[in-house]
Amino acid sequence: MASAFVSYHACYNISYSLAKDIHYLSKLKLPKFNIRGNGSTSAVTKIRASTVSTVPHVIENVDMDLKQTRQNIPTTKQFVDPHRQGSIIENGVRYRQLVVIRSYEVGPDKTATLESILNLLQETALNHVWMSGLLGDGFGATHGMVRNDLMWVVSRLQLQVEDYPIWGEVLQLDTWVGASGKNGMRRDWELRSQATGVVFARATSTWVMMNKRTRRLSKMPDEVRAELSPWFIEKQAIMEDTPEKMKKLDDTAKHGTSSLKAKRSDLDMNHHVNNVKYVGWMLETMPDEFMEQYQLCNIILEYRKECGSSDIVQSLSEPDEENRTTDESLRSLNGMQIKYTHLLQTKGEVKNEEIVRGRTTWRKKHSKMPFPM
């Protein structure tokens, strides 16, 4: 409440100052000159023009002040952020934040949805960059990236879920970064119960840089590498084996829908569809009865292409051959993990273009609900 009052008070003072400046400019007493009709610009005109021309500069400066007052991005490394319940730990490079599962982040079974967990991962990643003092005017972009017109894009993500947190549960979410090859960055997460320390989920991801103008992948500039490398940690949340090759699905897939389209609310600060939205589209094809009985325990996503607001998207899914079953026999698979392959692609007049390929693993839901119905 106090911070909101301070922000309002600062904005009021800036607006009042601007009003005084404009009022002052309008009341200036200009000297009188004889204006000759020879076609030349009079001194009065020149003075008035120069006076009026200062107004846009005043407004521009006020806009910058307002933005800084509202956002207040740190320019130096911060170790504690009381507003976000966050702190920098482990030799000053790892980020830890306390989060609470809200009512709008759970599904009918009162456990956090997959999309909610992925959104928490994304938010803590951005908060990590925020506290580092490296955040420029972009979606997680550093100052060096802004100068080189670069942005981050995720190329691969894996999430393993041991158990789903319930509504109202307080969680401890850690995130850190490391190198991935010559031009990429790895980001990992670990989600625990704040009360017991039990691990709910682990995740790892690979990020690369894209030029915002050409929309092509870019090498990591030396100045960006110098910004990021002091934050790199060797530890991995998920020890990855050799990634299995995901097959490409086609229209013969068992499940599919072709009527998906992004809304304005699906776009992020980089003006493309947020990667979490893709997961929701991917799961749209899963049968209702299956989703009622099974819960996801592992997901691997390989991102291939951006998706814009004008694209029509097709979502396809296919169970593995050894898991193929009729809906009536789902109950016989109790205790067995079921795997699916997924594909999102844009539907074009000439050809379709892949957005993301995915692999999901599912297990039987617990027989008891976390809360009585």
Please report whether residue 86 resides in a domain. yes
d(CA 229, CA 147): 18
- The confidence band for 16, taking pLDDT boundaries of 50, 70 and 90, is very low
Sort 365 into a burial class: Cβ within 10 Å, 0-12 / 13-18 / 19+.
middle
Predicted confidence at residue 368, as pLDDT, reads 54
pTM score above 0.85: no
Predicted confidence at residue 264, as pLDDT, reads 85
307 assigned to active site:
yes
Predicted confidence at residue 87, as pLDDT, reads 97
Listed residue (102, 88, 217) closest to 155, CA to CA: 217
Please report whether residue 49 resides in a domain. no
Instruction: Examine the pLDDT at 17 and tell me if it is beyond 50.
Output: no
Instruction: Examine the pLDDT at 224 and tell me if it is beyond 70.
Output: yes
Q: Which of 240, 257, 292 is the last residue of a domain?
A: 240
Instruction: Examine the pLDDT at 53 and tell me if it is beyond 70.
Output: no
d(CA 316, CA 249): 7
Q: Are residues 281 and 186 in the same domain?
A: no
Predicted confidence at residue 48, as pLDDT, reads 53
Torsion angles phi and psi, residue 215, rounded to 5: 60, 30
Predicted confidence at residue 350, as pLDDT, reads 80
Predicted confidence at residue 318, as pLDDT, reads 95
Predicted confidence at residue 59, as pLDDT, reads 56
Q: Are residues 77 and 132 in the same domain?
A: yes
Q: Are residues 227 and 317 in the same domain?
A: no
Q: Are residues 110 and 218 in the same domain?
A: yes
Predicted confidence at residue 11, as pLDDT, reads 43
Least confidently predicted of 64-68, 71-75, 93-97: 64-68
- CATH code of residue 293: 3.10.129.10
Q: Are residues 156 and 249 in the same domain?
A: no
Instruction: Examine the pLDDT at 326 and tell me if it is beyond 60.
Output: no
Token pair recorded at residue 197: 């320390």
Catalytic, out of 270, 298, 323, 352: 270
Predicted confidence at residue 81, as pLDDT, reads 92
Q: Are residues 272 and 216 in the same domain?
A: no
Instruction: Examine the pLDDT at 32 and tell me if it is beyond 60.
Output: no
Q: Are residues 63 and 163 in the same domain?
A: yes
Torsion angles phi and psi, residue 25, rounded to 5: -65, -40
Work out the mean pLDDT of the chain and round it to a whole number.
82
Per-range mean pLDDT, top range of 164-178, 270-284, 322-336: 164-178
Please report whether residue 48 resides in a domain. no
Please report whether residue 50 resides in a domain. no
Q: Could you report the per-residue pLDDT of 124-142, keeping only the tens digit for each?
A: 999 999 999 999 877 789 9
Provide the number of structural domains found in the chain.
2
Please report whether residue 72 resides in a domain. yes
d(CA 189, CA 173): 7
Q: Are residues 218 and 330 in the same domain?
A: no
270 assigned to active site:
yes
- The confidence band for 359, taking pLDDT boundaries of 50, 70 and 90, is very high
d(CA 314, CA 296): 21
Predicted confidence at residue 37, as pLDDT, reads 47
11 assigned to active site:
no
Please report whether residue 31 resides in a domain. yes
Please report whether residue 63 resides in a domain. yes
Q: Are residues 236 and 174 in the same domain?
A: yes
Q: Are residues 225 and 266 in the same domain?
A: no
Instruction: Examine the pLDDT at 309 and tell me if it is beyond 70.
Output: yes
Please report whether residue 331 resides in a domain. yes
Instruction: Examine the pLDDT at 155 and tell me if it is beyond 60.
Output: yes
Beta-strand ranges (E) seen in the chain are: 80-81, 86-89, 94-100, 150-161, 170-180, 184-193, 199-211, 217-218, 255-261, 294-303, 312-319, 338-346, 353-364
Predicted confidence at residue 315, as pLDDT, reads 96
Q: Which residues pair with residue 357 across a beta bridge? A: 302, 343
Q: Which of 240, 271, 302 is the last residue of a domain?
A: 240
Q: Which of 222, 240, 258 is the last residue of a domain?
A: 240
Query: What is the span of the domain harbouring residue 144?
Result: 1-42+57-240
Catalytic, out of 127, 272, 275, 342: 272
Catalytic, out of 127, 275, 307, 342: 307
Q: Are residues 13 and 150 in the same domain?
A: yes
The predicted model gives 232-250 an average pLDDT of 87
Q: Are residues 233 and 322 in the same domain?
A: no
